[in-house]
Amino acid sequence: MTHSTPAAVLWDMDGTLINSEPYWISAETILIESFGGSWTHDDAMECVGNGLFESARVMQSRGVTLDAATIVDRLTDSVMAQLKESGIPWRPGARELLRELRTAGVPTAIVTMSIGRMAHHVVENLGFHGFDAVISGDDVENPKPHPEAYLAGAAALGVAITDCVAIEDSPPGATSAFASGATVIGVPFMVDIPEDKTHALWPTLDGRTLNHLSELHTKVTTR
């Protein structure tokens, strides 16, 4: 069977391309505790994959008396400081697959709920030209799980969303990508992803290739 190469691959960032979730949890915990509150691991898991402004509203409900934009900026500053101090922790197999896509000429975009300055910091430190477009949380009105971000990613690349493969690690992200019409690969990391919001669940990207993406995309689009 001939496999159809996807027109583009759309990547989530936090938890999919990079292992930044522990940095976010640390930033959230420090901020909450500075206002006399407490933040558990379960609390943090509830925010994984959500838009930052949605997470900010959760923190306001826990006693953080700052406006949402300030909360987002403080969290982002903290995470970026950790990335700069410790380096960017790439997820297994992610950079290797991304490099293969670039070599093959497959367009790629980041579709993240992190704000633009953090997304561009990651892109600029890949070590190679990895992405043709960056869609961040401050580029859309409706955060994941709404499909707007993935639709914007496809539009930025000039391709149909149904011709794209999306890679995600969280329920909100997978829901967003699935609702957009993309072929969705879930790579669960810190939280489980419902099977009905993906077309495949892979335990890791390590060892995965463009051929694997093309094979899945062909199965999905020829059903």
For residues 117 and 13, membership in a common domain is answered with yes
Residues 158, 59 within the same domain: no
CATH of residue 156's domain is 3.40.50.1000
In Å, how far are 58, 92, 189, 220 from 17, measured between CA atoms? 25, 8, 11, 23
Q: CATH number of the domain that 58 lies in?
A: 1.10.150.240
**Residues spanned by the domain of 136:** 8-19+89-221
pLDDT at residue 1, rounded to an integer: 47
Q: Is residue 3 part of a domain?
A: no
Judgement on whether residues 54 and 150 belong to the same structural domain of the protein: no
Task: Calculate the average pLDDT of the chain.
Answer: 94
Helix, strand or coil for residue 188? Answer: coil
Predicted confidence (pLDDT) at residue 194 exceeds the cutoff of 60: yes
Q: What percent of the residues of the chain are helix, what percent strand, and what percent coil, each to the nearest 5?
A: 50, 10, 40
**pLDDT at residue 2 greater than cutoff 70:** no
